[in-house]
Structure 1
Amino acid sequence: MDDPERRARLRLARTHRVGPVGYAQLLARFGTAAAALEALPMLAARGAGRPIEPADPRRIDEEVRRVAKAGARHCLTGDPDYPALLAEADGAPPVLIVRGDLSLLTRPSAAMVGARNASAAACRFARGLAQELGQAGVTIVSGLARGIDTAAHQGSIGSGTVGVIASGIDIAFPPENEGLQARIGEEGLLIAEQPPGTQPLARFFPQRNRIIAGAAQGTVVVEAAPRSGSLITARLAAEAGREVMAVPGSPLDPRAQGCNSLIREGATLIQTAADVLEQLRPIDLRALRSPVQGWGASPPEDASDRERAAITGLLGPVPVAIDELIRQSGLAPAIVQTVLLELELAGRLERHAGARVSLA
């Protein structure tokens, strides 16, 4: 795509209330980001909510300048080097900011996550496992957090590691990993979704986790407490149709409860690198997503007032699957997509993992 269209796509992606699903549907419907930007006010008005204002072009110019200053670049969905597995994951980011070697994600890949307050034994195991997998040609994906993430990166830095961060590409977090983060950007691959200068706020970590899970063929959890971010990553991996693996631990250690629960629920028990390699089968991208969820779904169509009322009446504060809305409404998927998009742009709809939606 030419530079004006790239700028327009970046502007569309940075527009408040345009999420990853809405972004893809807008491009499918209008063909170009420039046309989609022009249509945003009209679509939001149909959703009977708040007006919407496209992102300021000056803000986009500043972002492009800061990305270049950080030695990074933008990678958009549709670019030939956008990670193929991630593109197929639910809610794949329209825009990535990357520094390093994107070809690392064309190799077999495994995400490794775990507790920030991990035990010394678990960190040693994670470091050794990542090293062995790297020597076998597997790229290790993790989140540059303290504990297991750091150990995984340290073990795979020489063979191929990908660090996904919740801040801007120019901000190191945690501070003690500044050197490791810089080295990953030079020798591996560093990925950020947020614009430069963005601080690592709590709400950005689940978004980072979906990239970690979506970019890899499977996720290995080494140590995790119940209700931890690592278990969120494992759940996202399962929802994306990827392998979920867990290292068992002592039932006396609270940090092992999450992994033991995953195994009880069906995750593959991992003890060696050979166990992981056995699970990393080639993935058929065509089998990962349903037509309703996928980027290739039919473009949205105009909906009537009656159809809008029917779909809105089926929605409430409890998340519901989009395919359930299609079944209960009896309307075409493209019509349902249209109404949901209008509600989202109007600030009246929230999207959840697993292709579920609710009224805001």
Structure 2
Amino acid sequence: MDTPDGPYDRKIQLTGGTTYTVSLPKQWAIAQSVENGDRVRLYDRGDRLLVTQPDDDGSRRTVTASAVRHAPAAIERVLTAAYVAGAEVVRIEGQPDREVRDAVRKAVAGLVGIEVSEETDDAIVARAMLDVDDLSPKQTLAQMESTALRMHEEAISAALNGDAERGRRVRVQDDTVDRLFGLIAREFQRSLVDVRVDGAGSDLTTFDYYTAARQIERVADHAVKIAGTADQIETPPPDDVVDDVTRLGTESRNLVRNALSAMLNDGNAETLCGVLADADRVVDDAESLDRRLYERALPTGYALATVLDSVTPRQRHSDRRVRGQRRGGGDPDDASRSRDQRGLTCGPTDERMSHQHRRPTTDTDRRLTPTDHR
């Protein structure tokens, strides 16, 4: 039975032997401004069928901001936020001065597929040049992964060798990852309001891609943090420490690669559970190395603790209480979230170091090891 607020139950009828038709409630059609002869569009979304009215202007959503009311830094933030929210045109009015125009160009330079398309004395306009149909979130995610993991590897090497210049080069690459993340975030936001954006052409949604991209972006952020310690390590650590940290970094990056591959290629439960078990093992090894660094009291102990803090995942899968709250080299748990939500159940992981056998934290530990701000 139909109710004023829906849903409306309609029976599909065959007309003329060749066409299926569905009747619309008259009062509802009037309220939606649907008239005889109007056209609608049908979108196939797996087990859903979406019906919308054509909207030629809807694809050119415009955001307008005043240069009089906003400082240049605020204008930069407005443009970036409008881009991520899915705006197609951002117009800055109010006779923007040189500083405002520079802020617009700076914001545009940090984003993908948007350019300054118009400038007059009264306004400056940035316009998105992206074609939704040409976007490949899978390819964008792969590019993010490649750049972030390369940063992670180079940052560890720079830190362990005290190579400050190489560390600075790593930090510059973070802008590339941020730009790609902004692109995926934009498509996720657009998918919430634009039915044409289905995000993948597969069973993955734009939210799946956004969730994975957010974790990879964090890998790049941790690489920047690691690279920053290159200025603090003047003397290379002992060879065994270098070998251990390098090995843990390699294993952490493999975790991200395997988790993302499983997500994109519909990995089975055995594969995903294997990734989680490997993550727990890496955490155990990192904790063991952390204790050894504490006991050796190396001159570069604090800097090395900072590196180790960002090299590996710092929490076991079996210990997690909130999905997605991670540290270090990305989150294989979050990267495979879409599969996990479909019923993935892994057996208990191997807790080789139980809570009661862990060394209690002391004031000295707090000075040597950065606090994890989750």
TM class, shorter-length: under 0.3
Question: Normalized against structure 2, the TM-score is what?
Answer: 0.21
Q: Which structure has the larger Rg?
A: 2
